[in-house]
């Protein structure tokens, strides 16, 4: 009998890695150059938000208006250009504890499919993961370039994951893994399991308050993670 697969959908920033502010610097540079806005990201909490939504928020705060589609596209383009070198030179860039062994082990299992569920633009995600050669683990994803709304991104990720698997994987076999309350909420939006990890800027207590299905301090104890994933048969 064919085994039904499980989908693991990973957030990037604060979950797999810390970019050390590279993303903020890349966007700051674009906004300074194009609109003369300095240190735009200082007044924004980007965690859990999509890249286009962050640009919209910066426009409202600094220019008191909405950006049009062309402006968003243009800024995204400049941001990605800057991000390429900011990621490479970022001294604070690091993978979070246990992430690499986790991905290596999960990558060897035929019953698990790993994808991305992130507010990053698809190309931005590639750049952030690329510095540590992590792109090879992820077969599909939902990105900030798909929608500004994280719930919609989650729907895309689930759709693409099921397409990739070639089967209608049930929702209780789909895990949304992330470090913010937004990740927990978007797991709820699609009806998947929420696995929260306190390696980002949201504390364990705060995450716990929002009642994810599973909550971990970090991924340094691989057996813990394995237990969670294996709980559903
Ligand atoms: Mg995150």
Q: How far does the centroid of ligand 1 lie from the alpha carbon of residue 121, in Å?
A: 13
Q: How far does the centroid of ligand 1 lie from the alpha carbon of residue 197, in Å?
A: 10
Does pTM surpass 0.85?
Answer: yes
**Series of mean pLDDT values for 10-residue runs along the chain (233 residues):** 87 97 95 94 87 92 95 95 97 97 95 96 97 97 92 96 95 96 95 97 97 97 90 74
Q: Domain coordinates of the chain in residue numbers? A: 6-19+94-231, 22-89
Q: How far does the centroid of ligand 1 lie from the alpha carbon of residue 14, in Å?
A: 5
- What confidence score (pLDDT) does residue 1 get? 57
- What confidence score (pLDDT) does residue 43 get? 87
Q: How far does the centroid of ligand 1 lie from the alpha carbon of residue 1, in Å?
A: 37
Does the structural domain 6-19+94-231 have CATH classification 3.40.50.1000? yes
- What confidence score (pLDDT) does residue 230 get? 86
Please tell me whether residue 106 adopts helix, strand or coil conformation: helix
Q: How far does the centroid of ligand 1 lie from the alpha carbon of residue 47, in Å?
A: 6
Q: How far does the centroid of ligand 1 lie from the alpha carbon of residue 48, in Å?
A: 5
Q: How far does the centroid of ligand 1 lie from the alpha carbon of residue 196, in Å?
A: 10
- What confidence score (pLDDT) does residue 210 get? 97
Q: How far does the centroid of ligand 1 lie from the alpha carbon of residue 3, in Å?
A: 31
**C-alpha separations of 129 from 18, 19, 61, 126 in Å:** 10, 10, 30, 5
Q: How far does the centroid of ligand 1 lie from the alpha carbon of residue 193, in Å?
A: 16
- What confidence score (pLDDT) does residue 48 get? 80
Architecture of domain 22-89: Orthogonal Bundle (1.10)
Q: Bridge-partner residues for 112, per DSSP? A: 6
Closest CA to 164 of 140, 142, 187, 143: 140
Contact 197, 218 (CB under 8 A): yes
Q: How far does the centroid of ligand 1 lie from the alpha carbon of residue 111, in Å?
A: 25
Please tell me what DSSP assigns to residue 193: E
Kind of pairing, strands 193-197 and 17-18? unpaired
Q: How far does the centroid of ligand 1 lie from the alpha carbon of residue 10, in Å?
A: 9
- What confidence score (pLDDT) does residue 185 get? 95
Contact 149, 201 (CB under 8 A): no
Q: How far does the centroid of ligand 1 lie from the alpha carbon of residue 35, in Å?
A: 27
């Amino acid at each position: 009998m064919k085994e039904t697969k499980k989908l693991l959908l990973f957030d990037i920033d604060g979950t797999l890695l810390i970019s050390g502010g590279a993303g903020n610097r890349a966007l700051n540079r674009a906004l300074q150059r194009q609109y003369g806005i300095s240190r735009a990201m200082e007044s924004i909490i980007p965690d859990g938000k999509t890249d286009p939504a962050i640009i919209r928020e910066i426009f409202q705060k600094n220019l008191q208006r909405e950006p049009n589609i062309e402006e968003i596209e243009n800024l995204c383009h400049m941001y990605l250009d800057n991000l390429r070198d900011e990621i490479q030179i970022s001294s604070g860039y690091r993978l979070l504890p246990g992430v690499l062994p986790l991905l290596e082990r999960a990558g060897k299992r035929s019953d698990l499919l790993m994808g991305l569920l992130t507010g990053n633009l698809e190309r931005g995600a590639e750049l952030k993961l690329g510095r540590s050669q992590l792109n090879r683990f992820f077969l599909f994803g939902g990105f900030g370039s798909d929608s500004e709304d994280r719930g919609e991104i989650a729907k895309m990720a689930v759709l693409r994951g099921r397409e990739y698997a070639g089967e209608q994987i049930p929702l209780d076999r789909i895990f949304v893994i992330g470090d913010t309350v937004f990740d927990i909420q978007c797991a709820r939006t699609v009806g998947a399991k929420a696995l929260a990890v306190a390696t980002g800027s949201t504390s364990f207590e705060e995450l716990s308050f929002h009642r994810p299905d599973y909550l971990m301090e970090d991924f340094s104890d691989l057996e813990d993670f394995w237990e969670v994933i294996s709980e559903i048969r």
